[in-house]
């Protein structure tokens, strides 16, 4: 098995990013290594520019994301971690695959419709052809499996369509058709100030999120002040219906403890938040403090981050080059 996953390099990562995606990557890395498989993780900087990025903040965000992935458990010695733009084969293969992709296929991509909204004519061409670059990201490495959430399944189907049509048109068996890998249900972490809104780095209140860089005192203070209600915790999950803030804190506890909501409520049911919040704070500090310490160490050594990413890019290019060369050859180029 060989899997390929990309993540847009935005800075100021928070608990929602970790529990919602990054932690699943670490689990996948460990599992595939045990099974003799291989994981490639890349910072999708070329995808990110489909919308305007302020250059200085963007450059900083790329390093921050690399540091966060490593601090959370992605090991550059066990997986291949790199910047997308450092492997020029991605952009080259996208252009070649543009000749195979059909306009009608791209017109059916719902994510473009969602992101462009009513201003479709004002959206960038890069946003429109984003799925073809995603296809190149995957097909370039002959990936056998791709972790996909519900919002990306359509793009993986497009990659398979492009691969099938290319192989058929040119009479080759070049591209592997990747299979979807459905990750474990990701924890959906909400704002600490509003249980109906996702935890977000763009929230104007820093108290609404737990940043991966927060120290122990800050984590404890944010959870202590997190919005709740006056009722005690129920003994069963049905008792959390209509209690968004209470449900969010229970979900966070379950995700950090690696258990389920029923088990958390079996332990804390009937207790008030005066008891539950300190227990949650202790758990969060225990789980996140080592990440924050490693993240701070990595952020203080940008040269080392650049070295690790360059090493990963070199490994990725070694895998990508034969596929790109074979694509040029198949097309008579």
Active centre residues (catalytic) = 115, 198, 201
Beta bridge partners of 180: 146
CA 30 vs CA 137, 139, 205, 255, 319: distances in Å: 22, 23, 36, 18, 21
> CA-to-CA distance for 32 and 250, rounded, in angstroms?
30
CA 211-187-114 angle, to 5 degrees, is: 90
φ, ψ dihedrals at 259, nearest 5°: -130, -165
Take residue 301 and report the two structure tokens written for it.
């050594």
Q: Do the bridges between strand 145-147 and strand 179-181 make them parallel or antiparallel, or are there none, so unpaired? A: parallel
Q: List residues bridging with 38 in a β-sheet.
A: 2
């Amino acid at each position: 098995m060989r899997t390929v996953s990309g993540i847009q390099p935005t800075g100021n990562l928070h608990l929602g990013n970790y529990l919602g995606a990054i932690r699943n990557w670490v689990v996948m890395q460990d599992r595939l290594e045990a099974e003799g498989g291989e994981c490639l993780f890349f910072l999708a900087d070329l995808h990110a520019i489909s919308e305007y990025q302020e250059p200085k903040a963007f450059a900083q965000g790329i390093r921050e994301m690399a540091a966060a992935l490593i601090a959370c458990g992605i090991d550059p010695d066990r997986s291949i971690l790199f910047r997308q733009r450092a492997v020029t084969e991605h952009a080259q293969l996208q252009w070649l695959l543009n000749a195979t992709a059909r306009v009608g296929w791209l017109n059916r991509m719902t994510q473009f419709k969602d992101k462009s909204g009513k201003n479709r004519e004002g959206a960038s061409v890069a946003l429109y052809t984003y799925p073809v670059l995603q296809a190149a990201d995957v097909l370039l490495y002959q990936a056998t499996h791709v972790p996909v959430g519900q919002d990306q399944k359509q793009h993986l189907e497009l990659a398979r369509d492009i691969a099938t049509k290319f192989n058929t048109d040119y009479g080759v068996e070049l591209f592997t058709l990747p299979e979807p890998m459905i990750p474990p249900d990701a924890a959906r972490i909400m704002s600490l100030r509003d249980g109906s809104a996702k935890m977000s780095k763009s929230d104007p209140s820093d108290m609404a999120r737990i940043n991966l860089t927060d120290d122990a005192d800050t984590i404890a203070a944010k959870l202590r002040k997190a919005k709740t209600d006056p009722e005690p915790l129920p003994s069963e999950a049905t008792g959390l219906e209509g209690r968004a803030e209470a449900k969010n804190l229970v979900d966070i506890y379950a995700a950090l403890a690696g258990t389920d909501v029923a088990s958390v409520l079996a332990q804390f049911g009937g207790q008030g938040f005066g008891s539950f919040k300190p227990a949650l704070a202790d758990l969060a500090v225990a789980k996140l403090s080592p990440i924050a310490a490693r993240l701070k160490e990595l952020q203080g050594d940008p040269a080392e981050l650049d070295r690790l990413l360059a090493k990963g890019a070199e490994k990725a290019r070694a895998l990508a080059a034969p596929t790109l060369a074979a694509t040029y050859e198949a097309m008579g180029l």
